[in-house]
Amino acid sequence: MNQPSYTRLVFMGTPDFAVPSLQALLDAGEEVLAVYTQPDRPKGRGQKLAYSPVREKALAHHLPVFQPPSFKETGAVDRLAALKADLLIVVAYGLILPKAVLNLPTWGAVNVHASLLPKYRGAAPIQWAVINREKETGITTMRLDPGMDTGDMLLQETEPIRETDTAQSLHDRLAGKGAQLLRRTLERLREGRLLPQPQDHSLATYAPPLKKEAGEISWGGTAEEIDGRIRGMTPWPRAFTFLKGKRLIIHRAVLDSSEIQGRPGTIYSLEKDRIRVHTGQGLLALLEVQQEGHKKMSAADLVRGLSLPVGERLGRG
């Protein structure tokens, strides 16, 4: 008996992370009927409406684009139903898909999620994996259900997290890995060799969306914890502290092997290329920073510009 081909696809995604997956489908000659992406958002100083990265890619390939603000919008479900898709491909779309939508395609929806589920369900799995200094993360393809990343798993692939990784560098590797795993998932689905595996919900952890204030550094944490927060908050919302009452963004820092203890947030020493700061446990060396209203600069340039003394304290108050 021939296996179903599930050829008619609808792609749903919005940010840069989703673009390699869409490109992989197009490179493979898949029949992408249409692309769904979030509505255009104001961007930049002028707050002009900007296309999502996925919309830009779709238009470059002359694909129909739909941008409903939600599937509660009148006619949104009917328009999707009219496409008669075999399968939805969902990659960082950003909208919850109700049961009425998931029931439309022949085989439902395949989602590409940037964690090893059931760990880090939610909107910011890459950032939280770096913040928490995990040693590895990965990609999971899964069947979508109405819950938040609770559907049955299809395939998984791990990816080590390097000591120097930021959320951006890890994001870029996982985006490519996700596209490759999506291709393999479709191949096995069509071969009839895909066995969905239920998640162990007792092992679930969550990765809630990041807010701008989450970037504020608490110098009472360990050097390792602060290092993870700086890297996990790069490129957004950026880790920050205060210096002389003004916000100071920390773009890059490294752990210092010294075990010298002192008051958290206090500058211990000023070196040629770094500012060494006491934390709750250990020293952290700041390499690249940005003062409020200024461009990014080296720590050395900050020291020269402000004539910082040893003993100056970072943080509020």
Q: Which of 256, 277, 260 is nearest to 268 (CA)?
A: 277
Q: Are 250 and 240 within 8 A, CB to CB?
A: yes
Amino acid at 81: A
Question: Tokens in use for 294?
Answer: 């200024």
Consecutive H or E run containing 309: none
List, for the chain, all residue ranges whose pLDDT scores fall below the cut of 70. Answer: 1-2, 317
Q: Are 178 and 112 within 8 A, CB to CB?
A: yes
Confidence at residue 2, expressed as pLDDT on a 0 to 100 scale: 64
Report how far residue 258's alpha carbon sits from residue 49's, in angstroms, rounded to the nearest whole number: 49
pTM for the whole thing?
0.96
Q: Residue 243's CB: how many other CB atoms inside 10 A?
A: 20
The rounded Cα 89 to chain-centroid distance in angstroms is 18
- Identify whether 235 is preceded by a cis peptide bond (ω within 30 of 0): yes
- Identify whether 39 is preceded by a cis peptide bond (ω within 30 of 0): no
Residues of the chain with CATH 3.40.50.170: 8-203
Q: Which fold has domain 8-203?
A: Rossmann fold (3.40.50)
Concatenated DSSP letters of 224-279: HHHHHHHHHTTTTT-EEEEETTEEEEEEEEEEE------STTBEEEE-SS-EEEE-
Report how far residue 206's alpha carbon sits from residue 139's, in angstroms, rounded to the nearest whole number: 15
Residues of the chain with CATH 3.10.25.10: 212-306
Q: Are 140 and 121 within 8 A, CB to CB?
A: no
Q: Which of 204, 213, 254 is nearest to 233 (CA)?
A: 213
Confidence at residue 48, expressed as pLDDT on a 0 to 100 scale: 87
Report how far residue 20's alpha carbon sits from residue 155's, in angstroms, rounded to the nearest whole number: 18
- Top CATH class, 212-306: alpha beta
Confidence at residue 304, expressed as pLDDT on a 0 to 100 scale: 85
Confidence at residue 46, expressed as pLDDT on a 0 to 100 scale: 77
Amino acid at 8: R
Q: What are phi and psi of 223, to 5 degrees?
A: -60, -40
According to DSSP, the residues that pair with 85 across neighbouring strands are none
Confidence at residue 1, expressed as pLDDT on a 0 to 100 scale: 47
